[in-house]
Chain A
């Protein structure tokens, strides 16, 4: 039963191989698995053309995610902890959450120019809103009893915040961060594709598509998928370390 999780990928490969190998689907749309494998080998190992793009996409995803966390977590925690603050900004957060981040890209281009900052700006914006909402929610939904206990033992309001409210809200903060991390990659790739980027996996996927280099396009898509997969697996490891006590 150890290898049961391989069944899904093998079935997929088999269907893919059948569809492309027998010419049921045009190779322009679906090249064979071996063609994609060769493209992957060439891009990653023999010619190593894709590594700069991998690095850039990875950097943009992580940078926007970390910046969003650094800004969004404190703002969200304070919003949850100070009801007045929450009521003041609740509408704004809800409103900005409703704007698709991509819709703001032209504005970012105007304001920040064609450099890295406008490319990080879009995923940063998308992530911040999610992280703020989840962090605030984590504080508001933490059991009140632990705060009461600390107050009885003479903890000041701010000591209650640091010692009780902050750790109590972490499970929700991490939910927000996990969602934001996947979104950061999505938005980074979209921005790279369509907004005058020179490099990055999104740009490469789009270029291969324009040149009808379909195997290379698939290879770049697969690499993007692997990055997303590794990011979320890595995040789960971090989460287990900090939140081993949660939901038990």
Chain B
């Protein structure tokens, strides 16, 4: 059964500039984007093009200078889950894994500690994740820490999940493992996801759609639908649609950065 895709998030003519000692830099200019419900959108672009600024704008960490960011659920329903590259500085080192995951449920103090822990345990069961619940971050591996961050980002059932280069600090082996785990989590949680990456293979591998951004100020250079069927296995990285698409994106990317 196929339902009509709904727009979950729309950015309309969003602009953002920052000032520093060199003057004012426009990082995002007249940026428009629609993200569909339950879509997995990868954002790929040159270094410093404003990918992270976009994530911060959508998360509400910073406000746009112009334009609007609208959620289907309305402003009141603007709930966001966010995962940063730096899991060390993002997790609370004084809390165990389970108490890190349940952090967003503490925002208004409605739930008891026990209820929050139960929610975390049932979320992990739902996602099929195994994490050392009573361990502190310093007792966990990099992959486990980033999975903790991902679980934390969806425990409050946000309307959108933002992943800002989440695997950039992980070693290659862990990274590949995490890509498959993230795919499974996304499939089970059915959550609209924006994934920022500077690694082309994982950006394609995970996405329904990939946006290639221009150099700063960021605009959409091109939007690619990823035609690979799901669930995607490791072998899909070698399939001809993947390889063709990758070549096409990289060619555009190269012409973009050489401008």
Interface string of A210-248 (1 = CB under 8 A from B): 000000000000000000000000000000000011101
Inter-subunit contact B80/A152 (CB<8 Å): yes
Nearest-CB residue, chain A, relative to B92? A146
Is the C-beta of B132 less than 8 angstroms from some C-beta in chain A? no
Q: Assuming A146-B91, A153-B104, what are 6 further A-B pairs, CB within 8 angstroms?
A: A146-B89, A148-B61, A152-B60, A159-B109, A245-B93, A245-B137
Interface residues in A139-190 (C-beta closer than 8 Å to B): 143, 145-146, 148-155, 159, 163-164, 167, 170
Inter-subunit contact B92/A167 (CB<8 Å): yes
Dominant SS among interface residues on chain B: loop
Interface string of B102-118 (1 = CB under 8 A from A): 01101111000000000
How far is A143 from B87 in the complex, measured between Cα atoms in Å?
12
How far is A244 from B89 in the complex, measured between Cα atoms in Å?
17
Interface residues of B (CB under 8 A from A): 59-61, 79-80, 82, 84, 86, 89-94, 103-104, 106-109, 136-138, 156
> Whole-angstrom distance from the CB of A240 to the nearest CB of chain B?
13
Inter-subunit contact A145/B61 (CB<8 Å): no
Chain A residues positioned under 8 Å from B109 (CB to CB): 159
How far is A149 from B86 in the complex, measured between Cα atoms in Å?
12
Dominant SS among interface residues on chain A: helix
Nearest-CB residue, chain B, relative to A245? B93
Chain B residues positioned under 8 Å from A244 (CB to CB): 136
Nearest-CB residue, chain B, relative to A154? B107
Inter-subunit contact B89/A152 (CB<8 Å): no
Q: A164-B92, A167-B92 are in contact. Are A149 and B107 (CB under 8 A)?
A: no
Inter-subunit contact B93/A246 (CB<8 Å): yes
Inter-subunit contact A143/B89 (CB<8 Å): yes
> Whole-angstrom distance from the CB of B151 to the nearest CB of chain A?
13
Chain B residues positioned under 8 Å from A159 (CB to CB): 106-107, 109
Nearest-CB residue, chain A, relative to B78? A154
Q: A167-B94, A245-B94 are in contact. Are A155 and B107 (CB under 8 A)?
A: yes
Nearest-CB residue, chain A, relative to B137? A245
How far is A248 from B86 in the complex, measured between Cα atoms in Å?
15
Q: A145-B89, A148-B61 are in contact. Are A163 and B106 (CB under 8 A)?
A: yes
